[in-house]
Structure 1
């Protein structure tokens, strides 16, 4: 049997966040791309470059060793929704309450995230530094921006309705302190790709 795409019914007055999430879930995203809800639109962005795998793996392994009880550090391709902001993102690396994976849906609630990390590229840098910083800054305890072009990593923490209240930036090669609920220093030497 051949699979056929189904038309997506629109809702009068425009689609809701749930309508858009359902659309993202039903999309046949081309290989090498992920779909996210950014600025109220469905946006397809390419997955990270192969050369990003070693630094992503290094960060994931370090986070795994210091994650809060019941949380898992991963870079599995899952979407997390921020309903109050009308957004849904698929972070590059993240730490999340393991209980979220017992749900039957295809996206998780962002309230389960304890940390997200985004690795910048020329096509995503502005979204990582602006859009995601604002949205994550209201809810997620720790946000790491791994700026691959500047070879720096910034740790944002202490979220509030106005955004993060604390941040620190270091160049690759220098240790970076990550506050509670992690309380450890990231070895950033493995974040260089060359």
Structure 2
């Protein structure tokens, strides 16, 4: 069986970046597994979840910041481009960067599922693989479809080796290097 990453991409990374630069402002593009994807605009609850996570990260880890909608170079050899719902890095880590940053300083990537038909594949399969291949230590998926939070850790060979699922309302531990425990009770009100 041929691994997914060995397929022919729709275009080069350089061609994607040129396309993305000329896209209308309301269109957010990503380049995942060699395919161009349109990332849906967040609804109100999606934005509230990201803001809630920003607040908790700031309270528990004031040395870090959760940047929303940050462009990251992902996948093997940085050939992917993902616009993460959140990226946790030391404050100032993106200073001087352009639209797409290398993931070296990223401690955690965050995605909150949207209501589009591609969300299942993109947020649950493609992005974890891309973030793992980029060496991001923790990937946090807030899945509004099934009201769960999944913490992916231990990236190795393009996959996360550990994955812990918790229902909304349960405490969720984000291990080192993040070292935060989330009380996910507020997510119950934001699942819709």
Verify same fold: TM over 0.5: yes
TM superposition shift of 1:29: 2.6
In structure 2, the partner of 1:87 is 80
Q: Whose Rg is larger?
A: 1
In structure 2, the partner of 1:78 is 70
TM superposition shift of 1:185: 1.1
Task: Give the aligned CA root-mean-square deviation in angstroms.
Answer: 2.1
Could you tell me the TM-score, scaled by structure 1's length?
0.81
TM superposition shift of 1:136: 1.0
Is 1:131 paired with 2:123? no
Decide whether the 8 Å contact of 2:54 with 2:65 is kept in 1.
Answer: no
**What count of residue pairs does the alignment treat as equivalent?**
177
In structure 2, the partner of 1:28 is 23
1:158 to 148, 154, 161: 154
Is 1:57 paired with 2:51? yes
In structure 2, the partner of 1:39 is 33
Q: Distance in 2 between matches of 1:110 and 1:68?
A: 20
Q: Distance in 1 between matches of 2:167 and 2:136?
A: 23
Structure 2 alignment gaps of length 5 or more? 1-9
Q: Which has the higher strand share?
A: 2
In structure 2, the partner of 1:188 is 184
